[in-house]
Amino acid sequence: MATGIKETKELLRFVFSLANAVKQSMADGSLTLWDAKNFVEPLSLLVDAVDNLDQILPELKDLDDQEISELVGFVMNELGVEIKIPNIPNPPEELEVAKEQVLQAIDTGKAVLQMVNLIKG
């Protein structure tokens, strides 16, 4: 039975938003109080990201090809990558990079999940 990927996408949205906030904050080489504004969006996404953490691992274990493609598209959009995905045996390099980003983001999401579960006890 397909569980969907809603919770996974919410966690990934948080991970990308947090990564972007860190990147923006460190652009000048230092982290100051003024950089706090960069973390407003990630903090607003945090509640949705951790609200149903217990559903994310089942979603990841139940991924089908369509959901994987949807996650690749989601990550490509988050990264600002715009390419059309052709139905060919050798996809363009950009698609392979996007797939790798999906896997890295999922791994990061899993690490966040594990930390939250440790904290929750």
Task: Give tens-digit pLDDT for 53-69.
Answer: 788 878 877 777 788 77
Q: Output 35 or 73, whichever has higher pLDDT.
A: 35
Q: Output 105 or 28, whichever has higher pLDDT.
A: 28
Range picked from 42-51, 87-96, 108-117 for highest mean pLDDT: 42-51
**Looking at residue 84, what DSSP letter applies?**
-
Concatenated DSSP letters for 31-82?
--GGGGGGGHHHHHHHHHHHHTGGGHHHHHHT--HHHHHHHHHHHHHHHT--
Alpha-carbon distances of 120 from 33, 53, 114, 115, 117, rounded to whole Å:
28, 11, 10, 9, 5
Q: Output 54 or 81, whichever has higher pLDDT.
A: 54
Alpha-carbon distances of 2 from 11, 59, 62, rounded to whole Å:
18, 8, 6
